[in-house]
Structure 1
Amino acid sequence: MSETSLRPRLAGRREWTAVAVLCLPLLVVSMDVSVLFFAVPHIAESLAPTATQLLWMFDVYGFVLAGLLLTMGGVADRIGRRRLLLLGAVAFGVASALAAYAPSAGWLIAARALLGIGGATLMPSTLAIVRNLFADDGERAKAVGVWSAVMAGGVGIGPVISGVLLEHFWWGSVFLINVPVMLALLVVAPFLLPESRSVTSRVDLPSSVLSLLAILPVIHVLKSLAADGWSVSLLPYAVVGAGASVAFVRRQSRISSPMVDPRLFAVRGFGGSVVVQVIGMFGVMGNAILVTQYLQSVLGYSPLASALWSLLPSVAVGAAAPTAAVLSLRIGRPVVMASGFVLAAAGFAAMRLAEADSTIWVTLACASFVAIGLVSVATLVTEYAIGVAPADRAGSVSALVETAGELGGALGMAVLGSILGAVYAARLDALLPAGLPQQMHEAAAQTLGEAVVVAGQLGGARGEAVLEAARTAYVDGMHVSDLAAAAVLLVGAVVALVALPRHRSAEQRAAEEPALSGR
């Protein structure tokens, strides 16, 4: 048999057009994570939500999305990835319209939950379809690079789109913009996207319930740690999450059609790629939480201005993903991923140059290194994970990778946010001016935002002293958190080099495929 006959079929214009179409729903799903940032004051004025309702407006979308990814990945394998994509487009479009015209806070929360369900069907479906569109490793790497760049860019673009729309329209427009995108997908997808499904896959209801009980409490604990620190009230959530996780893992090894096939972790590099994904998203979300508040509360930029400035690193990111894919074919994925981690760690370490009176260019330069490095990692680790999986498991594996990313992001916010809060409180206690009322002292020590409020209440020289102390304390906390993030990313570099094979030969893939496809 000739070498040419063994070469996978190369993609054409149809396949690359399909990738562009798949990026549209992915973009709006990722945008909806952050689209409420600027709309909150307008929603508060219109719907008068309680503090608890306002919190749920933000969190319910991410909670439902993360909790259902594994389930929907299995459903995609069972009923067909294109079919689930179209069902998700309908659900997301309807939920967007319901959110846009919500007459009450409770209605908006319910609509956001439905948006999370729609998003959970769209994300693994898009990635699974990309996996099945491209047989050639190099082309698939480039396609997944585009997918990863759009995914990362959507979170950053969300606040900007929100701010622009709110300048001209009412708050519901931030949701209504999703509707034409979903309508376009419903029109084009049946003609452009191929259908694919697994004839052996089954949806196991107990596994779905256990995955929800495992993921949702863990996400809740991590978010609460980032916002308020540890409290005894979080213990039941941690116990339920840990118990459900153990039960979920045990069930996957016993049933004939597991939601997460344990045999995948026997493939050299697959388990390491999941760890790499967690560490990579740890850095992405950790950097976001540190830099966003620094730009707004320390350097004094408005939320919209901060969002616009934050888009600058995305210019470099757009080139980083395809470049990383090309380099991986020459020197191997682990080397490129490890280099990406080292570059991002250097960006975090260099953030020590950012002070309370620094120019924004220092922060943007450091953030660009972080973004380039971590997007390169995300591109390659996602492509590796879905490439090693058999085609009939593409949906469930895509969902597993995305769930690992959600957990890593929550972990990054919790760990780095907790370090930041602890250092901030300790430093501020020594920096605040003497004679400050105890109530104001305690309030300022909670967060930088609270300190800004206290400074405004005091006014004059004492207010300026409080504000300067708070900004200095925040920067000190940010520096420690940046070093912690850099250390974690260097661990990621070691994992990439040690746990991932440099190349997987055609012989290895051929040997692994039968073992993974049958049970």
Structure 2
Amino acid sequence: MPQEAADRSPHSPRSLRQAWVALAGLSAVFLFEMLDNSILNVALPTIGRELHASTTVLQWATGAYAVVFGGSMLAFGAIADRFGRRRIMLLGLLLLGAASLATAFVTTADQLIAVRAVTGVAAAMTTPGSMALAFRLFEEDGLRVRAMTLISTVGLVGLAIGPTAGGFVLAIAPWQVLLLVNVPIAVLAFVGLRAGIAADEAADLHREPVDAPGAVLGTATIVLALVAPTLFVNEGAGNWAPWTATAAAAASGALFLLRERTARHPLLDLALIARPLVAGGLAFKAAAGLATAGLGYLVTLQLQLDWGWTPALAAVGMLPQVVVLVAAGPFVRPFVDRVGLDRAARLSAAAVVCGLAVYGLLGGFGYPWVAIALVLVAAGLRVVGVVAGVNVLRGLPRNRTTIGAALVDTASEVTSGISIAVTGTILAALFTGDITASHWSGEQTGQFHRALTTAGLTLTVLAAALVGWGVVRVRRAAPEPAPVAVDEAIPEPV
């Protein structure tokens, strides 16, 4: 563990039970992140009819949130490390409550997009801080893993039940009610953080000036990187718009790196990212984001367009992934205790790559192989989602933990977008005609199968490269101490 985090605070909780108020608030933050867009997707057809919105406008109703959220996380992470993580999170929760209340007054699609963009700002202010505060709340890595497992399990349960619950709500209430649910969640989170977590101490913050040019360039890079995949899918690889966005993202990214190398007080100290634990954790998290987004996109198309499953049956077909993500929570901590954080990160990231490989090589031979791929990727994601974040924060100074958490989320967001761009481009290049047509010719069916195999194996190679790089970097870190058993007298609350 870094020297900056070596000193144990006498006020640190010695169990999850002692920190239940804070954990309730932090879990509510993650519940909002997981529930928000998934529950909105259920209402999109209803919203389209009531607001007379086109398909593109509806896409931006969800896309505006994702782009603003992903694009502003680094900036708010840096601000939180300077002015207080708890303070920024509480302000973000107030903004979230206000934006959610504003949904009740939405009458046009443009207003909805604006509200969703503000909600994305609120998410960027709160989500990275939830990981950073959960990490800082405890001094033992075992308790940190248990806390993050608990928090992520609450969010994943919300993700699993959100669409179904949303469907029932729409049968009896206006669609606005679905987004108004964020108000009580924000209140719960605010009360939990206010009562359960002390304000940041001045010694744990830093007062370097905010790198405004770096923040602008970093935000522009991530926004363009997230917009480009949408343009590839909507406009096609033959259109100039997605390639222009990609080139602009690369140019602004290069300028951002140049700025951070030469600035006296950079937004993101590149030397910190080069630390072995940080670089390895980010690579593992990026591979997981790449695999999850790409596999979900490909399987959804395969089940409905190739095999002719109805949307409801396709949702059932994705259940193996949902079940593993939710039910595997109690097994994460024992697994990490047994093999250690670093080995757990390597093994779980390797499971993600194996899942992609199974799909790319065997997914066309029947649903059982698709189910196995979903289970492997979900199992790997369930572990790596916790341990990669812990490793990144272990490798950073205490006054950089929030931007570290923002980096973890940003890595996943960006590679998810890249994954959709890669798969969409391969499908567009190999499949001729309208992919959504009700009947395909034999030649088109063959083209689709080749595209699925090519996309699945391409994602496998990319994910394997990220995992390989992560393994090399982590092995350069100091040897990890033997796992410390967590107090077994305290029942696991998950």
Question: Do these two structures clear the TM 0.5 threshold for a shared fold by scoring above it?
Answer: yes
Displacement, 1:113?
Answer: 0.7
Task: Give the one of 343, 349, 370 matched to 2:351.
Answer: 343
Displacement, 1:344?
Answer: 2.7
Q: How does 1:117-156 map to 2 (within 5 A)?
A: 117-150=121-154
Name 1:164's counterpart in structure 2: 168
Distance change (3 Å), C-alpha of 1:100 and 1:483: farther
Name 1:446's counterpart in structure 2: 434
Distance change (3 Å), C-alpha of 1:206 and 1:151: farther
Distance change (3 Å), C-alpha of 1:240 and 1:346: closer
Name 1:70's counterpart in structure 2: 74
* Preserved CA contact (<8 Å) 2:8 2:139: no
Q: Which moved more, 1:371-380 or 1:253-262?
A: 253-262
Name 1:11's counterpart in structure 2: 14
Task: Give the one of 84, 89, 95 matched to 2:88.
Answer: 84
Q: Cα deviations across residues 408-447 of structure 1 (Å, max 9, x unaligned)?
A: 111111112322343333xxxxxxxxxxxxxxxxxxx232
Q: Cα deviations across residues 158-196 of structure 1 (Å, max 9, x unaligned)?
A: 433433322332221221121111122223321112222
Are 1:215 and 2:225 counterparts?
no
Name 1:516's counterpart in structure 2: none
Task: Give the one of 171, 178, 181 matched to 1:174.
Answer: 178
Displacement, 1:385?
Answer: 0.4
Name 1:490's counterpart in structure 2: 464
Q: Cα deviations across residues 238-271 of structure 1 (Å, max 9, x unaligned)?
A: 3332232222223223444432122213422322
The structure showing larger relative contact order (alpha-carbon pairs under 8 Å, at least 6 residues apart) is 2
* Preserved CA contact (<8 Å) 1:342 1:373: yes
* Preserved CA contact (<8 Å) 1:78 1:198: yes
Name 2:492's counterpart in structure 1: none
Task: Kindly provide the amino acid, as one letter, of the partner of residue 226 in structure 2.
Answer: I
Task: Kindly provide the amino acid, as one letter, of the partner of residue 465 in structure 2.
Answer: V
* Preserved CA contact (<8 Å) 2:38 2:162: yes
Task: Kindly provide the amino acid, as one letter, of the partner of residue 135 in structure 1.
Answer: E
Task: Measure the CA separation in 2 of the matches of 1:113 and 1:285.
Answer: 22
Displacement, 1:321?
Answer: 5.3
Task: Kindly provide the amino acid, as one letter, of the partner of residue 219 in structure 1.
Answer: L
Task: Measure the CA separation in 2 of the matches of 1:100 and 1:90.
Answer: 17
Q: How does 1:343-492 map to 2 (within 5 A)?
A: 343-351=351-359, 352-355=361-364, 358=366, 362-425=369-432, 445-447=433-435, 449=436, 451-452=437-438, 455=439, 466=440, 473-492=447-466
Distance change (3 Å), C-alpha of 1:490 and 1:204: closer
Distance change (3 Å), C-alpha of 1:282 and 1:268: same
Q: TM-score normalised to the size of structure 1?
A: 0.81
Distance change (3 Å), C-alpha of 1:137 and 1:256: farther
Task: Measure the CA separation in 2 of the matches of 1:107 and 1:60.
Answer: 12
Task: Kindly provide the amino acid, as one letter, of the partner of residue 136 in structure 1.
Answer: E
Name 1:240's counterpart in structure 2: 248
Structure label with greater radius of gyration: 1
Name 1:253's counterpart in structure 2: 261
Task: Measure the CA separation in 1 of the matches of 2:442 and 2:42.
Answer: 26
Distance change (3 Å), C-alpha of 1:380 and 1:21: same
Task: Give the one of 469, 473, 484 matched to 1:499.
Answer: 473
Name 2:489's counterpart in structure 1: none
Q: Cα deviations across residues 274-322 of structure 1 (Å, max 9, x unaligned)?
A: 2222222100111111122333334444435544553443332345456
Task: Measure the CA separation in 2 of the matches of 1:155 and 1:211.
Answer: 29
Displacement, 1:29?
Answer: 1.8
Distance change (3 Å), C-alpha of 1:414 and 1:148: farther
Task: Kindly provide the amino acid, as one letter, of the partner of residue 446 in structure 1.
Answer: D
Task: Measure the CA separation in 2 of the matches of 1:332 and 1:420.
Answer: 40
Q: Which moved more, 1:26-35 or 1:81-90?
A: 26-35
* Preserved CA contact (<8 Å) 1:74 1:202: no
Name 1:290's counterpart in structure 2: 298
Q: How many residues align?
A: 468
Q: Which moved more, 1:186-195 or 1:308-317?
A: 308-317
Task: Kindly provide the amino acid, as one letter, of the partner of residue 303 in structure 1.
Answer: P
SS of the residue corresponding to residue 107 of structure 2 reads: coil
Name 1:459's counterpart in structure 2: none
SS of the residue corresponding to residue 484 of structure 1 reads: helix
Displacement, 1:505?
Answer: 5.5
Task: Kindly provide the amino acid, as one letter, of the partner of residue 410 in structure 1.
Answer: G
Task: Measure the CA separation in 1 of the matches of 2:307 and 2:480.
Answer: 53
Structure 2: segments with no counterpart, 5+ residues: 1-5, 482-494
SS of the residue corresponding to residue 40 of structure 2 reads: coil
* Preserved CA contact (<8 Å) 1:92 1:182: yes
SS of the residue corresponding to residue 380 of structure 1 reads: helix
Task: Kindly provide the amino acid, as one letter, of the partner of residue 253 in structure 2.
Answer: S
Task: Kindly provide the amino acid, as one letter, of the partner of residue 57 in structure 2.
Answer: Q
Task: Measure the CA separation in 2 of the matches of 1:248 and 1:277.
Answer: 22
Displacement, 1:63?
Answer: 0.7
List structure 1 segments (4+ residues) > 6 angstroms apart after TM superposition.
Answer: 5-8
Task: Measure the CA separation in 2 of the matches of 1:6 and 1:80.
Answer: 20
Displacement, 1:388?
Answer: 1.4
Structure 1: segments with no counterpart, 5+ residues: 426-444, 456-465, 508-519
Name 2:271's counterpart in structure 1: 263
Distance change (3 Å), C-alpha of 1:188 and 1:493: closer
Task: Measure the CA separation in 2 of the matches of 1:194 and 1:301.
Answer: 52
Task: Kindly provide the amino acid, as one letter, of the partner of residue 429 in structure 2.
Answer: A
Task: Measure the CA separation in 2 of the matches of 1:404 and 1:156.
Answer: 23
Q: Which moved more, 1:126-135 or 1:192-201?
A: 192-201
Distance change (3 Å), C-alpha of 1:212 and 1:20: same
Distance change (3 Å), C-alpha of 1:222 and 1:376: same
Are 1:23 and 2:27 counterparts?
yes
Task: Measure the CA separation in 2 of the matches of 1:149 and 1:487.
Answer: 29
Task: Measure the CA separation in 2 of the matches of 1:238 and 1:492.
Answer: 20
Identity %: 26
Distance change (3 Å), C-alpha of 1:42 and 1:119: same
Task: Kindly provide the amino acid, as one letter, of the partner of residue 393 in structure 2.
Answer: I
* Preserved CA contact (<8 Å) 2:134 2:148: yes
Task: Kindly provide the amino acid, as one letter, of the partner of residue 497 in structure 1.
Answer: V
Task: Measure the CA separation in 2 of the matches of 1:273 and 1:215.
Answer: 19
Task: Measure the CA separation in 2 of the matches of 1:69 and 1:62.
Answer: 11
**RMSD value over aligned CA atoms?**
2.9
Task: Measure the CA separation in 2 of the matches of 1:504 and 1:11.
Answer: 26
Distance change (3 Å), C-alpha of 1:275 and 1:67: same
* Preserved CA contact (<8 Å) 1:138 1:325: yes
